[in-house]
Amino acid sequence: MLDRIYDLYDELERRRVMLSFKGDLSEELVSALLGLVERKMSVLEPDARMRKRVFNVAMECLQNLYHHNTRLRLADVEGTATNIAHGVVMIMHHDKGYSVLTGNFVADKDVHLLKDHLDRINAMAPEELRGFYQETLANGRYTSSGGGGLGIIDIARKSGQKLEYGFVPFDTESAFFSLNVNVTN
Amino acid sequence: MEALLLEGTPKTPHVHFDPTTGRLELKGRSIPENSIDYYKPLITWVDRYAREPRPSTVLHIQLEYFNTSSSKCILDLFKKLEVVRTSGNEVVVNWHYEEDDEDMLEAGEDYQAIINIPFKMIQIEEVDGH
């Protein structure tokens, strides 16, 4: 394992990863990570609009990780699943902009709903997306996380690109959900 | 009734709702994990204010960032003020956005499209209050 540490570092460096985290997420940690994103962006990115968009996308992605944990995370040492938010987040800088990647466990029963939501959003042109956002905002409903289902729509609007996603079966009850959000000029 | 005054934090806005002038201010950032809890006292305050409002109410929104869970709560504030307006009082929203921040301007227009209150879009150099 020891010799892999450099490989890991080297890989992160080559891929221009400006932030990476894997583990349990607390409210404090979400704040700390956002603070880090903001500081890094203020150094790296001269365009204020791009800085804000990346911050916004990172903020919504982290909130998704924080709120939508499956309660089925990798069983801990004692072998019991806990309801602590758990996941992975990575922000990469590349020639065309930035990528915000997140991964977390979702319950099998939610996969279809989430996939349909993502496909619907990906099929929309920017103006349709804006209409969908307004319609969802106006419906007056709150979801368990408080966002009322606006999070992914907002992420798609700020990204301006199609959202890349995937599901990997994890166990009999859950899947690993990966999301890649590109924010480009 | 008393004014509502809350200091801004890195995740929550500076709030100053003054019942004697009818000036309601929300400034800074609104990115708490639990927006519903945060906004509860604000909505309660506006609800009470709506029973005896000033003839003219101006809500100043000057946000640098807000998350989607705040956006539903901000809409609820607007809805309370919509009632104030329907009962014959003047209500205006002054929506501030930083120059180059088209996204924040669009966010204001999104509310404008679904809320029956006149919006004034005001471009500023930088959001203060954080």
- Which fold does the domain B4-124 belong to in CATH? Transcription Regulator spoIIAA (3.30.750)
**Of the given ranges (A8-22, A56-70, B85-99), which has the lowest mean pLDDT?**
A56-70
Q: Tell me what pLDDT residue A73 has.
A: 47
| Average pLDDT value for residue range B30-59 | 95
Report in angstroms the alpha-carbon separations of B69 from A63, B95, B119, B120. Answer: 9, 19, 22, 24
Residue B11 sits at the chain A interface (C-beta within 8 Å): yes
For residues B52 and B87, is the Cβ–Cβ distance under 8 A?
no
- CATH number for the domain harbouring residue A162: 3.30.565.10
User: Between chains, do B100 and A133 touch, taking CB under 8 Å as contact?
Assistant: no
DSSP for residue A21: E
Q: What is the pLDDT of residue B58?
A: 98
Q: Encode pLDDT of A27-52 as tens digits.
A: 889 999 999 999 999 999 999 999 99
pLDDT digits (tens, 9 = 90+) for B112-126: 999 999 999 999 998
Residue A2: the pLDDT is: 86
Q: What is the pLDDT of residue A84?
A: 76
Joined together, the tokens standing for residue A163 give: 């959202």
Q: What is the DSSP letter of B12?
A: S
Q: Which residues of B touch A35 (CB under 8 A)?
A: 10
- Given this model, what pLDDT does residue B37 score? 94
Residue B17 above 90 pLDDT? yes
Structure tokens at A169: 């079966």
Strands B90-98 and B56-66: parallel
Count of structural domains, chain A: 1
% of residues, chain B, pLDDT over 90: 91
**What's the confidence (pLDDT) of residue B34?**
87
Domain ranges of chain B: 4-124
**CA–CA dist B119, B115 (Å, integer):** 9
Give the tokens for residue A66: 């924080």
Burial B21-41 (b: 16+ CB within 10 A, else e): ebbbbbbbbbbbbebbebbee
- Give me the residue from A49, A133, A145 closest to B110, CB to CB: A133
Distances (CA, A) of A157 to A125, A160, B29, B79, B107: 10, 5, 20, 25, 11
Least confident piece of the model among A100-104, A171-175, B95-99: A171-175
The DSSP result for A121-153, as a single string, is: HHT--HHHHHHHHHHHHHT----TTSSTT-HHH
Residue B69 to residue A158, Cβ atoms within 8 A: no
pLDDT at A116: 95
A145 contacts in chain B (CB < 8 Å): 69
DSSP B56: E
Q: So what's the pLDDT on residue A77?
A: 46
Q: What is the pLDDT of residue A149?
A: 81
Integer Cα distance of A98 and A78 in angstroms: 38
Considering only CB atoms, B68 lies closest to which of A52, A140, A151, namely A151
Residue of A nearest to B125 (CA): A48
Span A80-100, mean pLDDT? 86
Distance CA(A91)–CA(A86), nearest Å, equals 17
What phi and psi values does residue B69 have, to the nearest 5 degrees? Answer: -75, -25
Closest among A168, A22, A17, A23 to A94, alpha carbons compared: A17
pLDDT single digits (tens) A93-148: 999 999 999 999 888 988 999 999 999 999 999 999 999 999 999 986 766 555 56
- Give the tokens for residue B125: 């150099």
pLDDT at B130 (0 to 100): 46
Nearest by CB to residue B33, choosing from A27, A148, A151, is: A27
What pLDDT, in 10s, does the model give residues A49-66?
999 999 999 999 999 888
First to last CA, chain B: 27
The pLDDT mean for chain B works out to 94
Q: What's the pLDDT score for residue A173? A: 86
B126 contacts chain A (CB < 8 A) = no
Domain range for A159 is 2-184
